[in-house]
Amino acid sequence: MAAALWTLAFHIDPTFRSERIVRALTHPGAETARRVAWLVYWWFQGLTFTGVWVVGHECGHGAFSPNRRICDIIGFITHTLLWTPYFSWQISHHRHHRNHASMERDEVYVPKTRSDLGIPKEGHGAIDYEEYLGDTPIYTLFMLLRQQIFAFPAYLLFNVSGQKGYPKWTNHFDRKASFFGSAGVLTSQFAADSILFTKRQRNVVLISNAGIMAMLWIVSQSVQRWGALTVIKFYGIPWLLVSHWFIMITYLHHTDTELPHYRNAQWNFQRGAAATVDRDFLGWQGRFFLHDVAHFHVIHHFFPMMPFYNGPEATKYLKEFIGEHYRLSNKPVFKALWDTYNECQFVEDEGDIVFYRNRKGQAKIRPAAPYRRSSAVEDLPQH
């Protein structure tokens, strides 16, 4: 489908700049139609590229084929074409699944704590949360757009939103600041000795790095042959939308006011797997282009090697088994993104079960009494 959309896109400019179309629509009308056609292409090609990325994700879990080699070949190709170091990300992603919702061990979407944001503890005088967390809607929108576009590359390169216990400069390519020379100049050194990987994984990490280097060469050659604007129009913008959709999907899966995070002995695999939420993501487009990855994510955390097409049926049985611990949201996803970004600000530094607090320092959900941290802040009414 990506190839079909690509082929159709080659006809956009010639068609809407043709003399016949200009005469029929007038020049302003033809130009408007041309721009709308590009927007339509970017929307659907972005979804299609994201679906290709999801296939690579399935391969990383061994869910695409019983043959491990086939999974790795297909996964390496699909992820490399979309600027993801396949084996490196596969390794850290598996660790995320093994430790999901653990404050100490999860790999990504680890909540910021009160102390991370420099907010004083409750009980020592009034706290002006507006001073610490208050932003104008325009600035909030800017920060949200920045997250949507750059969060995934930032996670791979700089461990942004990753485990805070890792050393500075932890990334999916090397051990520490190897991206930068002694003078802080960007270099091409890929050491493959990150804290994320073991010595036995060194070779596959180097293969992932080689794939990304090959993509740098392919894109540079494409720019020289067809020009930067053409490469951006046909490939660059759809790839940015992959980053957007990927972050939006995974952020909304793992971030919600009703989802707990655990510390110490209160965490176990079952609790972590249940601490995610299924969402009706873009309706039929999400189900068709994204292979149900957003609609049936809870079951994926319980059984990550299960092929995605079994998700709908398996979820029926999971809902019956875990009952009220299963979470589903039918809120429109763009509204959910805005609300979640504003409501999920931080968790407490103390307590073995914690929930997100909003810009007023309030939590929608509190742990059961035996696990509750004493707090002077007034929480929101429970629902």
pLDDT tens figures, 277-314: 999 999 999 999 999 999 999 999 999 999 999 999 99
User: Does 29 score more than 80 pLDDT?
Assistant: yes
For residue 191, the model assigns a pLDDT of: 47
Residue 373 has pLDDT above 70, yes or no: no
Please report the pLDDT score of residue 72 as a whole number.
Answer: 97
Which amino acid, residue 261?
A: H
> For the chain, what percent of residues have pLDDT higher than 70?
91
Pairwise CA distance, residues 274 & 53, whole Å:
24
In a domain, 376, yes or no: no
Residue 20 CB coordination number (10 Å): 9
Total number of domains constituting the chain? 1
Residue 191, in any domain of the structure: yes
Q: What is the predicted pLDDT for the residue at 187?
A: 35
Query: 379: pLDDT confidence band, cut at 50, 70 and 90?
Result: low
pLDDT of residue 35: 96
Q: Are 16 and 37 in contact (CB under 8 A)?
A: yes
Q: How large is the average pLDDT for residues 125-139?
A: 90
Kindly list the distances between the CA atom of residue 175 and the CA atoms of 166, 195, 205, in Å, as whole numbers in the listed order. 10, 6, 12
pTM given for the model = 0.90
Domain residues for the domain of 106 are 2-371
Cβ atoms of residues 74 and 58 within 8 Å: no
Tell me if 378 is assigned to some domain.
Answer: no
380 within some domain: no
* Chain segment 244-277, per-residue pLDDT in tens: 999 999 999 999 999 999 998 899 999 999 999 9
> Do the domain assignments include residue 138?
yes
**In a domain? residue 383:** no
Q: Read out DSSP for 257-326?
A: TT--EE-GGG--HHHHHHS--EE--SHHHHHHHSTTTTTT-HHHHH-TTS-GGGHHHHHHHHHHHHGGG-
Residue 92: strand, helix, or coil: helix
226 assigned to some structural domain: yes
| pLDDT, tens only, 349-369 | 999 999 999 999 999 988 877
The string over 222-260, giving b where at least 16 C-beta atoms fall within 10 Å of a residue's C-beta and e elsewhere, is eeeeeeeeebebbbbbbbbbbbbbbbbbbbbbbbbbebb
| CA dist 229 → 108, 224, 226, 237, 264 (Å) | 34, 11, 8, 10, 51
- Indicate whether 378 pLDDT > 70: no
Does the pLDDT value for residue 375 go beyond 50?
A: no
**Which pLDDT does position 193 carry in this prediction?**
56
Tell me the average pLDDT of the chain: 90
Residue 303 lies in a domain: yes
